[in-house]
Structure 1
Amino acid sequence: MINSSMPVGDWTWEVAPASGGVRPAARAAEVALGIWNILAERDLATPVGKVGVSVRSAGDVRDVLIDADGMNLEPEPLAPGTAFARAMDQAESVEENCVVTIRVECPGYWLEPDGKYRAEKLFTIRVTLWARRSLMVTLETYSDAWLTIDTRNREQPQVHALNAPRLAAALEEISALLGSAPDPGDENYFAKPTPDGFEDVRIEGPAYDDSWGTFEVPDQDRRLRSALPDSEDEYECITDHPVRYLAVEHAGHLVGYLWASVADDAAGFAPRVAVGDIAFQAGAEWLLALREAHGQGLTPLAALDWLARRPPRPETDLVPGAVRELTSLDALEELSGRY
């Protein structure tokens, strides 16, 4: 099983308009929370998710009227005084034609034969209210736990047997809640969604060989570097040689691995995708630290040693311990994508 920062698959429902005097924005919020509750019943969501609310002009979606992001999904999210309730009251008060979007990031658990593991973004729920009339719901997953073959082309019958029924049951219950069957998303790099989960590709084979390594890993690198200024003080980001690495933690969470090649001029950071956005935020900091080492003329292994000996940092720091070695960067990226 491998986690991804890009959706592995998605499903969309068109929901009948609210009736009986129910406020449109309130209806959208109730739908989002209803889906979250269905996922939570199966440990596919936990009570510590994040919710965001945006309101944009229907005439020009670039015109942002309200943007409330990163709010905690509290035990009673719509209780008076909660951040989510206040944001929905503001959305309801907008008088012009607008597009209201609610986005919930759902931490949750996938199952393995040896136990269960947590991902900080197992699913996202997006509910969009168009001009206070049309309500669209999209559910996205960022895990391949539901597939018969993982995104590196390896059969995973036990993982599939443990997780696919959980997803199928959740989709069925969400459809009952919304009163319509889902429209599965298009086939993507990783898989082909169906109304009750994903297509079994063991007969015809997947669309791409090692789709995770081919598409996800380069996308991770682009995302890590997107917020950084251009610089000539850069180590190479790929290597065919073994790598040595140190674990990095942020606020007590393992967020990735700082690595250096044993034989050429390559070094970098492999984000632990299961912890979500925090892995990329921390990784950008360590890429800046590697630039500093490169500017001093240090080899990658010397840079790893130099960074390990620096004074501890307040939140994001290297986990104390010996430097470890793996046979390839691919093996380290595999580790970062799994646990």
Structure 2
Amino acid sequence: MCAPEEAASWEWELDAFAPPGLDSALAAAVRMSEVLREHGLLRPDSLRWRWFVKGRGSVGTTELAVPESPTEGELSRGIAGSRPVAHPNAEVGALRMSGTGSWFDAEGAERRERDLVVLTVYPEERHLAAEVAVFHDIWGYCDFRGEPHPKVQARNAPRLASALRALERLLGTAPEPGEATYFGRADGYGPAMPDLIDGKGPDLTDRL
């Protein structure tokens, strides 16, 4: 099951990795997506962002199709070509890169799922940051009904942890856990263990 909010997220401050700005954000997005792709968690096919004008706020949203193996230059040209004609000074907001990923069920069968892992990079003028978020229940000990599924967790959570550690090595800094939501929070390199009552976790389906 997929939640409307993050089940867990991890955030990186990247000021020591690269200078702030759009070019650095695109380079970080490409390199981070390569790591996630190598782990089978994100095959990017879409880049989405909002345009902002100082003093006015958001003036629209653009979604760009991402090629099989995107480069910083391709993404930069795509963004430049989609700038709103009526707002030539519009700035790019948070860059959300999404696509499909692979997960494994309790029997070990591989399955594909949209937005299994979502990567967001923030190209602010004075600060560069990135976030990796997960929205599905396959990473935790229980599904969103509160039913334990340790076999599913065992087949998927280590892959996520391995990818997060690889990103840590790439970026040269450890991630901070993102904000907790109704659906969970990060603890280390995976979702936190829920509080169990009679062997079951909380039933979260009322918000699905």
Amino acid of the structure 1 residue aligned with 2:96: R
Gap change, CA 1:195 and 1:164, over 3 Å in 2: same
| Correspondence for 2:127 | 134
Q: CA deviation at 1:7?
A: 2.3
* 1:67-93 deviation per Cα after TM superposition (whole angstroms, max 9, x unaligned): 431x2210242376x4x332344699x
Amino acid of the structure 1 residue aligned with 2:131: T
Amino acid of the structure 1 residue aligned with 2:144: T
| Correspondence for 2:78 | 87
Identity %: 23
Between the aligned partners of 2:176 and 2:200, the Cα distance in structure 1 is: 21
Work out whether residues 108 and 122 of structure 1, in 8 Å CA contact, stay in contact via their aligned partners in 2: yes
Structure with bigger RCO (C-alpha 8 Å, 6+ apart): 2
1:8 and 2:7 aligned: yes
| Correspondence for 2:37 | 40
Gap change, CA 1:153 and 1:24, over 3 Å in 2: same
| Correspondence for 2:160 | 167
Q: CA deviation at 1:32?
A: 0.9
Work out whether residues 17 and 135 of structure 1, in 8 Å CA contact, stay in contact via their aligned partners in 2: no
* 1:143-186 deviation per Cα after TM superposition (whole angstroms, max 9, x unaligned): 11110111111111101111110111111111222222111123
* 1:81-127 deviation per Cα after TM superposition (whole angstroms, max 9, x unaligned): x4x332344699x9979554211113111111330111111121111
Between the aligned partners of 1:79 and 1:34, the Cα distance in structure 2 is: 9
1:68 and 2:62 aligned: yes
Gap change, CA 1:146 and 1:197, over 3 Å in 2: same
Work out whether residues 43 and 108 of structure 1, in 8 Å CA contact, stay in contact via their aligned partners in 2: yes
Amino acid of the structure 1 residue aligned with 2:21: P
Between the aligned partners of 1:189 and 1:205, the Cα distance in structure 2 is: 21
Q: Which has the higher helix share?
A: 1
Work out whether residues 29 and 88 of structure 1, in 8 Å CA contact, stay in contact via their aligned partners in 2: no
Gap change, CA 1:99 and 1:51, over 3 Å in 2: closer
Amino acid of the structure 1 residue aligned with 2:207: F
The equivalences for 1:261-272 within 5 A come to none
The equivalences for 1:226-241 within 5 A come to none
Between the aligned partners of 2:128 and 2:8, the Cα distance in structure 1 is: 20
| Correspondence for 2:47 | 51
Normalising to structure 2: TM-score of the pair? 0.82
Q: Give the secondary-structure state (helix, strand or coil) at the position aligned to 1:172.
A: helix
Between the aligned partners of 2:197 and 2:32, the Cα distance in structure 1 is: 33
Q: CA deviation at 1:18?
A: 6.3
Amino acid of the structure 2 residue aligned with 1:11: W
Match of 2:178 among 185, 208, 222: 185
* 1:268-307 deviation per Cα after TM superposition (whole angstroms, max 9, x unaligned): xxxxxxxxxxxxxxxxxxxxxxxxxxxxxxxxxxxxxxxx
Amino acid of the structure 2 residue aligned with 1:214: D
Work out whether residues 56 and 100 of structure 1, in 8 Å CA contact, stay in contact via their aligned partners in 2: yes
| Correspondence for 1:214 | 206
Structure (1 or 2) with the larger CA radius of gyration: 1
Q: Give the secondary-structure state (helix, strand or coil) at the position aligned to 1:56.
A: strand
Aligned residues: 204
Work out whether residues 8 and 185 of structure 2, in 8 Å CA contact, stay in contact via their aligned partners in 1: yes
Between the aligned partners of 2:82 and 2:24, the Cα distance in structure 1 is: 12
Between the aligned partners of 1:130 and 1:124, the Cα distance in structure 2 is: 19
Structure 2, unmatched stretches of 5+, are none
Between the aligned partners of 1:141 and 1:126, the Cα distance in structure 2 is: 11
| Correspondence for 2:145 | 152
Q: Give the secondary-structure state (helix, strand or coil) at the position aligned to 2:133.
A: strand
Q: Give the secondary-structure state (helix, strand or coil) at the position aligned to 2:117.
A: strand
Q: Give the secondary-structure state (helix, strand or coil) at the position aligned to 2:137.
A: coil
